[in-house]
């Protein structure tokens, strides 16, 4: 999943980003509302972790703009919003959720809880159970475990993230650009063949017959049989 | 019983005692006057015998010959009758007066004290944690109305003081939570990662140390703010321009290190103030400006006077405030508010004509300065 962390405190942004990367997400960081708006327009995020108080404005206003569509995203899909803030008053939580945030986490929080909430939001989005199952494949994002025919697969974190994304979107054709947008962060070179290479490595590890088919000129598809 | 100890009871007893005493003295005086009038020595027999008297009924009666003894007997009988009647009426009057004065005293004191009961009832509804209620007594502008109004004004001041205290507490806890979260998350990341290298641990340690230092600086700030509120008496006459120029010398290199330019616009203006606090206000505003200022931009530090107000201002060329400043206030700005309020002034924010924000600390120069100007003092002084 592609995540945007909007937080003006560099140390906090850094530790949240590292925690999310550990979970296999592709993470970008924005430190201001302006920066966040720029990134939201130019990339397709699945989830935004948003601080309330930012140096140039309020995260709440940004959340509202995302929800009501006044801030268009690259692929027209509205990312999930998780508010991350030190405001713990009941009114603040209500205001946060009412402005369209999908979840609300109060500082100081435990990274483990933040991870779990992010997984829950992604699950809700894809309407999938905590442990995914597609054909002979299973994947448990919380335990970082994937199996085929009951045998554990030894995947790198990027391969795991890619398989996770395929399984959430099982049966759909996913283009290379789409995979690059949702599984890789902004540091990746858009001209690279990293998607092709990673898909090919993943296929090798999944074994025969390959559940991932190539649709020429369109992209890849994980067969949901 | 409670009513025995009430002011109403005491007032009615006092009132009653005074009325009863005066009435009793009057009745006693009348009794004595009657007594002394009747006790004069009897008239000589020859001055009475043979005199003709007109009775109430109009009949003429000639007093027959009487001996002196007979006259004295009649007079004595007459005197005794009058005295016993006067005495009887006096006692009845005194008893009636006693009850009447008590009743009148009770009713009168009740009428006088009713607004006070009203004030008590309204005041008891105002809770310690919600100071928004007011007595707002209606009625003529008398002593009690003035008492209620004074009470209301005191509540206004308390309410303001409490809300600024609450805001300060909220901001403080907000600002302490971020470094706390950073520390906690970093510990979590390295301890739960079995593959964490020495470098990972060292990096976590450095981040934790940096954030612990940040927290301890915040606590210093808090203590400074508390001390400031405790000791407002050390205000002296000082020139804001001196402070601004000294600050510019000190802060110039800091700004340069951050790739920024520090400009100064100042004029001499004398205020009553606490040098250390005003210095801290400038530091906090400059720190805030430095955080949002884009590289290569200019931060302006300025002071001057506009009407009844002296001002200190810091302008940045950052992205500007898109929201009400109370929404994004932090501990630093909260302390600036406290310092401004400690000087009887306030803090304002204005859009900077060149983009960004102008933060202004207003300090009154006179006793009743009215409200501070609604325009940025920086624009006025530059143009």
- What confidence tens digit (pLDDT) does each residue in A148-184 have? 888 888 998 889 999 999 998 888 899 888 888 888 8
CB contacts of B211 in chain A (<8 Å) are 11
| Chain B residue nearest residue A110, CA to CA | B185
Chain A, 83 to 122: residues with Cβ < 8 Å from chain B are 86-87, 89, 107-112
Residue of B nearest to A7 (CA): B178
Rounded to whole angstroms, what are the CA distances from A109 to B180, B196, B352?
A: 9, 22, 37
- The C-alpha atoms of residue B325 and residue A32 are separated, in whole angstroms, by 16
The answer to whether B102 touches B16, Cβ cutoff 8 Å, is yes
Q: Are residues A40 and A137 in the same domain?
A: no
pLDDT (0 to 100) of residue A223: 84
Q: Are residues A24 and A62 in the same domain?
A: yes
Confirm if B175 and A107 have CB atoms less than 8 A apart. Answer: no
CA angle (A145 as vertex; A115, A163 as ends), nearest 5: 85
Tally of domains in chain A: 2
**Is A108–B193 a contact, with Cβ atoms under 8 angstroms apart?**
no
Same domain, yes or no: A159 and A213 = yes
DSSP string, chain A: -EEEEE-S-HHHHHHHHHHHHHTT-EEEEE-SHHHHHHHHHHS--SEEEEESEETTEEHHHHHHHHHTTSS--TTSPPPEEEEEES---HHHHHHHHHTT-SEEEESS--HHHHHHHHHHHHHHHHT--SSEEETTEEEETTTTEEEETTEEP---HHHHHHHHHHHHTTTSEE-HHHHHHHHS-TTS-TT--HHHHHHHHHHHHH-SSPSEEEETTTEEEE---
pLDDT digit string, tens, across residues A130-147: 788 888 899 988 888 899
- Taking the CA of residue A100 and the nearest CA in chain B, the distance in Å comes to 18
Distance of CA B164 to the CA centre of its chain: 16
Average pLDDT over residues A209-220: 88
Evaluate the CA torsion angle B87, B89, B95, B97 in order and state its sign. negative
Give residue ranges of B with CB < 8 Å to any A CB. 170, 173-175, 177-182, 184-186, 188-189, 192-193, 207, 210-211, 291-292, 318-323, 327-328, 330
Whole-number percent of chain A with pLDDT over 90: 22
Residues in A touching B320 (Cβ below 8 Å) = 56
- Same domain (yes/no): A109, A14: yes
CATH number at residue A171: 1.10.10.10
Most confident of A17-21, A75-79, B77-81: A17-21
Of A96, A126, A156, the one marking the end of a domain is A126
Contact B174 A58 (CB under 8 A): no
- B189 to A57: CB separation less than 8 angstroms, yes or no: no
Residues of A in Cβ contact (< 8 Å) with B330: 53
From chain A, pick out residues whose CB is under 8 angstroms from the CB of B173. 86
What's the pLDDT at B44? 67
Cβ within 8 Å of residue B60, ≥6 positions away: B52, B53, B54
CA quadruple A194, A195, A201, A202: dihedral positive or negative? positive
Q: Where is the domain boundary, A91, A126, A161?
A: A126
Q: Which residues, in sequence order, are bridge partners of residue A27?
A: A3
Whether B182 sits inside 8 A of A111 (CB atoms) is: no
| Residue in chain B nearest A112 by alpha carbon | B188
- Give the nearest partner residue to A19 out of B185, B320, B330, using CB atoms: B185
In the listed set A87, A110, A126, which residue is the last one of a domain according to the structure?
A126
**Closest chain B residue to A21 measured between Cα atoms?**
B189
Q: How far is CA B124 from the centre of its chain?
A: 16
* Beta-sheet pairing, A2-6 with A47-51: parallel
A108 and B181 in contact by Cβ < 8 A?
A: yes
Provide φ and ψ at B342, rounded to 5°.
Answer: -60, -25
- Is the Cβ–Cβ distance between B274 and B332 less than 8 Å? no
A119 plus A149 within the same structural domain:
no
pTM above 0.90, yes or no: no
Q: Which domain holds residue A67?
A: 2-126
**Within this chain, do residues A188 and A116 fall inside the same structural domain, yes or no?**
no
For position A82, which CATH number holds?
A: 3.40.50.2300
How far away is chain A from the Cα of B121, in angstroms, using its nearest Cα?
Answer: 31
Provide, as residue numbers in chain B, all residues whose Cβ is less than 8 Å from the Cβ of A34: 319
Q: List chain B residues with CB under 8 Å of A18.
A: 189
Say yes or no: A179 and A106 in one domain. Answer: no
- Chain B residues within 8 A of A19 when measuring between CB atoms: 185, 188-189
Same domain, A20 and A114: yes
Domain co-membership, A100 together with A151: no
Q: What is the ipTM of this complex?
A: 0.71
Same domain, A173 and A199: yes
Under the banding of pLDDT at 50, 70 and 90, the label for residue A82 is: very high
Average pLDDT, chain A: 87
- Tell me the count of A-B CB pairs closer than 8 A: 83
Q: Of A12, A18, A53, which is closest to B189 when you measure between CB atoms?
A: A18
Query: Are both A109 and A176 inside the same structural domain?
Result: no
pLDDT tens for chain B, residues 1 to 383: 466 678 888 888 888 888 888 888 988 898 888 888 776 666 666 677 777 888 888 888 888 877 778 888 888 888 888 888 888 988 898 888 888 888 888 888 888 888 888 888 877 877 666 777 787 878 788 888 888 888 888 888 888 777 777 777 777 777 788 889 999 999 998 998 888 899 999 999 999 999 999 888 888 777 776 666 655 557 788 999 999 999 999 888 888 888 899 999 999 999 988 888 888 889 889 988 888 888 889 999 999 999 889 999 999 888 776 555 544 566 778 788 888 888 888 888 888 877 888 999 999 988 877 888 888 887 654 43
B310/B281 Cα distance (integer angstroms): 14
In this complex, do B189 and A16 lie within 8 Å of one another by their Cβ atoms?
no
Check whether residue A62 and residue A136 sit in a common domain.
no
SS3 of residue B51 by DSSP = coil
∠ CA B123-B124-B126, nearest 5°, is 70
User: Chain B residue with minimal CA distance to A108?
Assistant: B181
Q: Which of A11, A19, A56 sits opposite B189 (nearest CB)?
A: A19
């Amino acid at each position: 999943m592609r995540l945007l962390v909007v937080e003006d405190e560099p140390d906090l942004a850094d530790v949240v980003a590292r925690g999310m990367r550990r979970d296999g997400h592709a993470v970008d960081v924005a430190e201001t509302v302006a920066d966040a708006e720029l990134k939201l327009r130019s990339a397709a995020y699945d989830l935004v972790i948003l601080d309330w108080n930012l140096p140039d404005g309020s995260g709440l206003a940004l959340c509202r703009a995302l929800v009501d569509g006044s801030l268009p995203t690259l692929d027209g899909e509205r990312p999930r919003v998780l508010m991350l803030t030190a405001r713990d008053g009941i009114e603040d939580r209500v205001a946060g959720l009412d402005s369209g945030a999908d979840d609300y986490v109060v500082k100081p929080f435990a990274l483990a809880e933040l991870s779990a909430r992010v997984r829950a939001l992604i699950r809700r989005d894809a309407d999938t159970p905590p442990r995914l199952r597609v054909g002979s494949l299973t994947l448990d994002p919380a335990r970082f475990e994937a199996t085929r025919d009951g045998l554990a697969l030894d995947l790198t974190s990027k391969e795991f993230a890619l398989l996770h994304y395929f399984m959430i979107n099982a049966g759909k054709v996913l283009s290379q650009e789409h995979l690059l947008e949702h599984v890789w962060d902004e540091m990746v070179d858009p001209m690279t063949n990293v998607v092709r290479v990673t898909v090919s490595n993943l296929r090798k590890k999944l074994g025969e017959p390959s559940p991932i088919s190539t649709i020429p000129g369109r992209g890849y598809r994980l067969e949901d049989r | 019983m409670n009513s025995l100890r009430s002011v109403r009871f005491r007032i009615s007893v006092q009132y009653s005692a005074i009325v009863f005493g005066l009435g009793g003295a009057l009745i006693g005086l009348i009794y004595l006057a009657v007594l002394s009038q009747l006790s004069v020595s009897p008239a000589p027999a020859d001055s009475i015998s043979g005199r003709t008297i007109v009775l109430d009924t109009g009949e003429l009666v000639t007093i027959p010959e009487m001996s002196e003894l007979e006259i004295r007997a009649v007079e004595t009988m007459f005197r005794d009758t009058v005295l016993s009647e006067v005495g009887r009426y006096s006692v009845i009057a005194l008893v009636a007066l006693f009850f009447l004065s008590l009743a009148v005293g009770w009713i009168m004191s009740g009428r006088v004290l009713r607004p006070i009961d009203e004030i008590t009832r309204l005041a008891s509804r105002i809770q310690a944690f919600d100071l928004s209620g007011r007595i707002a007594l209606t009625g003529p502008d008398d002593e009690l109305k003035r008492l209620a109004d004074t009470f209301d004004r005191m509540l206004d001041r308390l309410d303001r003081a409490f809300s600024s205290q609450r805001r300060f507490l909220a901001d403080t806890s907000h600002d302490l939570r971020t470094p706390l979260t950073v520390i906690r998350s970093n510990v979590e990341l390295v301890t739960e990662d079995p593959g964490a290298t020495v470098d990972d641990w060292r990096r976590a340690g450095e981040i934790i140390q940096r954030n612990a230092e940040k927290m301890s600086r915040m606590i210093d700030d808090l203590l400074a703010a508390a001390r400031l509120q405790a000791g407002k008496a050390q205000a002296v006459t000082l020139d804001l321009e001196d402070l601004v120029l000294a600050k510019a010398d000190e802060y110039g290199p800091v700004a340069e290190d951050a790739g920024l330019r520090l400009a100064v616009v100042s004029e001499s203006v004398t205020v009553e103030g606490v040098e250390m606090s005003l210095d801290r206000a400038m530091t906090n505003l400059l720190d805030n400006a430095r955080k949002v200022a884009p590289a290569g931009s200019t931060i302006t530090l300025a002071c001057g006077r506009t009407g009844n107000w002296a001002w200190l201002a810091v302008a940045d060329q950052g992205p500007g405030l898109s929201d009400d400043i109370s929404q994004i206030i932090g501990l630093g700005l909260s302390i600036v508010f406290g310092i401004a309020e400690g000087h009887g002034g306030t803090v304002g924010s204005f859009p900077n004509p060149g983009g960004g924000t102008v933060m202004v600390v207003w300090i009154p120069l006179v006793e009743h300065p009215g409200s501070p100007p609604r325009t940025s003092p920086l624009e006025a002084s530059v143009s």
